[in-house]
Amino acid sequence: MVTAVPGLAINLATLREQFDFRGSVEACARHGISAVAPWRDQLAKVGVTEVANILRDNGMTATGLCRGGMFTVMPDALDDNKRAVDEAVAIGAQCLVLVVGGLPKDSRDLPKARAMVAEGLAALLPHARAAGMPLAIEPLHPMYAPDRACVNTLSQALDLCDALGEGVGVVLDTYHLWWDPDLAAQIRRAGKGKRILAHHISDFRVPTRDLLNDRGMMGDGVIDFKAFRRMVEKAGYKGPQEVEIFSYEWWHRPGDEVLETCIDRYKRLCRATPR
Amino acid sequence: MVTAVPGLAINLATLREQFDFRGSVEACARHGISAVAPWRDQLAKVGVTEVANILRDNGMTATGLCRGGMFTVMPDALDDNKRAVDEAVAIGAQCLVLVVGGLPKDSRDLPKARAMVAEGLAALLPHARAAGMPLAIEPLHPMYAPDRACVNTLSQALDLCDALGEGVGVVLDTYHLWWDPDLAAQIRRAGKGKRILAHHISDFRVPTRDLLNDRGMMGDGVIDFKAFRRMVEKAGYKGPQEVEIFSYEWWHRPGDEVLETCIDRYKRLCRATPR
C-alpha cells in the first residue's frame, strides 16, 4: 500500500538521468506522489497526447510545464512560446514556467535584455490569456543573469507582473531567492497580488561545486525551508512544494533512492507546520 | 620612463601568487600605478611600519585596507576589527574594507546573521570615527551569502549606512553588483549620501568555473565597465578603479603580464570617457 505524500511535487528534471518520461511518472506514483512537472523535451520525444495519457493514467497533476521563455536569445521566441502555451494546455498544466533568457549573444547590455523580456512577455500574454494558461515568470539566482535569466529578484518579477496585468505570476524557487534581503516583503507582495503560481525547492550547498548542476537535496545546504514555506503559506499559497534538483550527484543515484530521500526531507524539513 | 596610469589602482590580492608585498608594490610602481590596496595578512607578515615605509618609498596611495568584518563568525570580531581600524590608520589607508561574514556555523538563520552584522558595525563605529577611518561595507554577490557576506545588495548596504550615520560607506564592486536590476538607482542614492568609498573592478566570466577564484579580467566576461563607471562618476565619485581579481588562471601568469593586461583593459574598456 502506497502512502500518499500530499503537498509534494516532483519536477521531472530531478529524475532525468534515471528514467524515461513514463518511468519517472510511474516511479513518482509508486512513491505516493501525485504531482509532477514535465519538460518540453519530454513532450517532443513522447508526444503531447501520450504525455497527457500517462499523466492521467497515473493520477498525476501537472504543476507546470517547463519551460518557455528565452525571449532574449531565440529568434522565433514568440512562436515557440505560443506553442509552449498550447502544449501546457494540452497536458492540463497549471502554468507555463518561463525562464526568460540572459544576455543576447555578444551583448553586455543587461538593461536592454530586460526590456526585451518585458516586450516578449507582453507579446505572448494575449495568446496565453486566450488559452487560459497562466504564465509563471521564474526569477533566477543572479549568477544566472548572463546566460539563463536576466530576471533575478522577486521584486523585479513582480514589477513585470504589475506592468503586464492579469494572466501572469511568479515561481518562488528557494534556490534562486533564499538570499534576498527583501524576500519576506516581496513574498507578501506576491501573495497580495495573487501572483504565486508555484513553489520550487532545492538547497544551496556550501561549497557549490558547479554553478548549474550542483543543487542540493533539502537539508544538505543552508536554506531554512520551513521559514520559507511559512512565508509562502502566510501569503496565501497552498500549492505543492516541487522538488527541482539539477545535480550530477543526485542524477547518479538510483531514482527510487532519490524519491525516498525527497519524501523524507520534505516531511522533516520543509513543511511549515507538522502534520 | 614610466607612463603614469592615473585612475587605476591594484588590489594586491590580484598579484598574491606572483610577488611578496614589496615585490608587488614595486611592480605596480614600475608600471606607472600609484595606488594599491594591501591585505592584512601582508601587514602581519611584513610589519605595519615596514608596509607604510614601502608604500611611501614607492609613492603609493593605499586605497583601502582589506579587510575587516566577519562579524558573524569571529568570536573576537570587535577586538579584531578595532585592530584592523588601527592598522588602516597606520598605513594611511583611505578606508577599511569590510566583508561582513555569512551564516554563523551550523546556522540557517540569514535574518539573524544580518542583525549580527548591524550590531557589529554599530559597536565598531565609535572606534573608527575616533580614529578618523571610514568603514567601507562591501556588498558581495548573493552566491557568497552563506559563507562570506550576508550583505548582498547595494540597497541593503546603504540601508545599513542610513541606520549607522556618518563614518561608514560602501565599496562598489562590479563583480558583485553588475546584475542588480536596481543598480542605477542605488548608485545614485550612494552618491547623494556621499557613501561611495571605493570602486572595484573585475569581470563575470561565462561560464564561471569556480565560485570564488574565477573572476575575470575586464573584457573577458559580460560586464559593461564603461556604463558602470559612468553611473559611478555621475554619482560624484572620482576615485580610482581598483582591479581585484581572484583567479587561478591569472595567478598563474607572470605578474608583469597581469599588470600590462590590467592597464590595457582599463584604458580601453573601463574609463567612462576617453582621455
The whole-number pLDDT of residue A273 equals 83
Nearest CA in chain A to B175: A143
Helix or strand (DSSP H, E) at A181: none
Residue A120 CA to residue A18 CA, distance in Å, equals 35
Angle (CA) B62-B94-B102 rounded to 5° is 95
Residues 6+ apart with CB under 8 A from B76: none
Q: What is the pTM (predicted TM-score) of this model?
A: 0.97
Q: Is B204 in Cβ contact with A146 (below 8 Å)?
A: yes
Q: Helices (H) and strands (E) in chain A — how many of each? A: 11, 9
Would you state the cell numbers that stand for residue B124, as one nine-digit string? 565598531
Compute the nearest-CA separation of B179 from chain A (Å): 6
Would the pLDDT of A29 be above 70?
Answer: yes
Contacts of B129 (CB under 8 A, 6+ apart): B166, B167
CA dist., res. B160 & res. B146, Å (int):
19
Q: Give residue ranges of B with CB < 8 Å to any A CB.
A: 103, 108-110, 114, 141-143, 145-147, 151-153, 155-156, 178-182, 204, 206-208, 211, 221-224
Closest CA to A149 of A72, A95, A77, A65: A72
CA distance A162 to A118: 11
Q: Can you tell me the mean pLDDT for A209-214? A: 95
CB B85 within 8 A of CB B55: no
Interval A80-136: pLDDT, tens: 999 999 999 999 999 999 999 999 999 999 999 999 999 999 999 999 999 999 999
The residue with cell 611584513 is: B46
Total Cβ atoms within 10 A of residue A69: 29
- For residue A130, which phi and psi values (nearest 5 degrees)? -60, -35
Whether the per-residue pLDDT at B274 is higher than 80: the answer is no
Report ipTM (2 d.p.): 0.96
What confidence tens digit (pLDDT) does each residue in B203-224 have? 999 999 999 999 999 999 999 9
Which residue among B103, B207, B224 places its CB closest to the CB of A109? B224
CATH classification of B8-270, choosing from 3.20.20.150, 2.130.10.10, 3.10.20.30, 3.40.50.300? 3.20.20.150
pLDDT at position B224:
98
Q: What are phi and psi of A161, to 5 degrees?
A: -60, -45
| Nearest to A165, CA basis, from A194, A138, A197 | A194
Task: Mutation target for B interface from A211, A223, A230: give the one with most B CBs within 10 A.
Answer: A211
